[in-house]
Structure 1
Amino acid sequence: SENRANTVRDYLQNKILENIQLISVVGLGEEKQINDSSTEELRGKNRRVDIFIEKAFAPGEKISRNVLPSFFSTEISQMKVKDTFALPNVNFVGGRHVWLPKGQSEILKLLKILKENPTLEIELQGHICCDYENFDGEDLDLKTFNLSFTRANAIKEYLIKNGIDSKRITAKGLGHLNPVVYPEETESDKVKNRRVELVLIKK
């Protein structure tokens, strides 16, 4: 694993020269698998190098993303393919792929919309808070480092269990790449980042 990391380091060093400072290279062996290695495809995804890019913040500086439109308050006719929507109140318990109780009614709304619009296809994109030592967080229940994916996949599995064709739903994990709020200074900030968003794939 260290040889793989060093290979990527050497490549980047030749490309970026002095523009970006490379701080460290670490080999982690099998410590931080993102999948359970039950198939060759999943094993292949574990053979990886993670790259972390950190911006230096001024004291008191904070990033807040523009609020996405709600999937529940936007008319289907007004939606565009590839648009990203918020699922308001669909937030998760820290370190787990279990959504908070207030999210249940919102997921039922999503189920209803999908049943009423059988041509819709969506991508569910999971997000995490707080863990910036890894691309993705550890799912404490599954012991894998793919928490953002397991959050999106939990909603996907719920929708499938309740009658939605699996071909209409894709689950994807984006780790900590797109925080709503950063840095997270309060529990409210953290909850906002533990979320799943929706991309319209087909109308």
Structure 2
Amino acid sequence: MKLFLFCLLFLFVGIHAQMITSVYFLHNSFDLNEKSKHKLDSLAQLKTNLTFRVFGNCDPSGSDEFNKILSEKRANAVSKYLQKKIGNNIKLESTAGLGEKKQINDNNTEELREKNRRVDIFIERTLVAGEKISQKTLPSFFTTKISEMKVKDTFSLPDINFIGNRHIWLQSGNARLRQLFKILNDNPTLEVELQGHICCDYENFDGEDVDLGTFNLSWTRANAIKEFLQKQGIDSKRIKVIGLGHLNPAIYPENTEADRIRNRRVELVLLKK
């Protein structure tokens, strides 16, 4: 729990204005287990001025009405537990059950269904009027020499940005993607992780991919790049894909379309040289 609390504190003393954490439930249950209680205890210890919003979710195994009620019970269980723990610096702004509307997985396996049986706690740090937060400038993967790269370093992929609510990149990214392929093709020992991001959607675990009807837009963006590289001949085992939703915006709040485009991005972490 101390490590979890340290990570949360690090996020809020840094650039981040929002984050999300989730707790998970057994099938058809709204009882909090000990692991979930420990996580909620850590959230309650945060000292920054924060707003919590709580959203319950479930897998699609029951009827629409049953799932809606179950998700509400899960959300209420979390809210009631937090209410007894939090101090005056934390405001519990809203609690809602979403039923099965915000699926982030396709439910093809039990493991994927488990991830939909959850409550998401959206946490927002209070900003002063006019405050704007920018991510530190990351080195470009395209201009950094391989010899200077270190494993676990994060790099930007400049000019590879996406259409809103879609995993289709803007035309300006085509040349950069060919350049990314060339670097990986010329350096066959490199293994990377592609981290997808979204803008603007702070009411969901992740953004909605309107082409697929799923709420894992950050993942589908990173995966679209992986699929492009695979088609060019890069071994899929060299590329890991994750979605980070809106947890690490390049800029916040997004006041202009340029801000929004900047956040619709994929970043790269070097896993192996």
Deviations 1:54-113 (A, max 9, x none): 122222111111111000110111111111000000000000000000111111111111
Partner of 1:154: 224
Report which stretch shifted further, 38-47 or 104-113: 38-47
Q: Percent same amino acid among aligned pairs?
A: 70
The residue number in structure 1 matching 2:261 is 191
C-alpha separation in 1, matches of 2:144 and 2:248: 22
Whose RCO is larger (CA < 8 A, sep 6+)? 1
Q: What TM-score do the two structures reach when normalised by structure 1?
A: 0.95
After the TM superposition, list the runs of 4 or more consecutive aligned residues in structure 1 that deviate by more than 4 angstroms. none
Q: Tell me how far 1:6 sits from its aligned partner.
A: 2.6
- Residue 193 of structure 2: SS of its match in structure 1? strand
Residue 63 of structure 1 aligns with an amino acid whose one-letter code is I
Q: Which residue of 1 aligns with 2:199?
A: 129
Give the AA of the match of 2:112.
Answer: L
In the other structure, the counterpart of 1:29 is 99
State the partner residue of 2:136. Answer: 66
| AA of the residue aligned to 2:170 | L
| Separation of aligned partners in 1, 2:87 and 2:73 | 21
Cα distance in 1 between the residues matched to 2:159 and 2:244: 19
Counterpart AA for 1:125: Q
User: Amino acid of the residue matched to residue 195 of structure 1?
Assistant: R
Q: Which residue of 2 aligns with 1:113?
A: 183
SS at match of 1:81: coil
Amino acid at match of 2:78: V
Unaligned runs of 5+ residues in structure 2 are 1-70
Question: In the aligned structure 2, how far is the partner of 1:46 from the partner of 1:105?
Answer: 37
- The range that moved more, 57-66 or 79-88, is 57-66
Kindly state the Cα deviation for residue 134 of structure 1 after the two structures are TM-superposed.
Answer: 1.3
CA-CA distance at 1:15 after TM superposition = 4.4
Aligned residues: 203
**Per-residue deviation, 1:13:** 3.7
Partner of 1:111, secondary structure, is helix
Give distance in 2, aligned partners of 1:125 and 1:11. Answer: 33
CA RMSD of aligned residues (A): 1.3
Pick which of 175-184 and 36-45 moved more.
36-45
SS at 2:90 equivalent: coil
Q: Tell me which residue corresponds to 1:7.
A: 77
More strand by share: 2
Counterpart position of 1:174: 244
SS in 1 for 2:94: coil
Matches of 1:172 and 1:10 in 2, distance apart?
Answer: 32
Report the residue type matching 2:133 in the other structure.
I
The code of the aligned residue for 1:156 comes to K
Q: TM-score, normalization: structure 2?
A: 0.71
Write the deviation string for residues 144-190 of structure 1: whole angstroms up to 9, x where unpaired.
11100100011011111211111111111100011111111110000
TM superposition shift of 1:125? 0.4
Question: Alpha-carbon deviations, 1:24-82, whole Å to 9, x = none?
Answer: 21111111101221222222222221111112222211111111100011011111111
Q: Which structure has the bigger radius of gyration? A: 2
SS in 1 for 2:158: strand
**Which structure 1 residue ranges, 5 or more long, are not aligned?**
none
Q: How far apart are the structure 2 equivalents of 1:8 and 1:165?
A: 43
Aligned residue type for 1:35: N
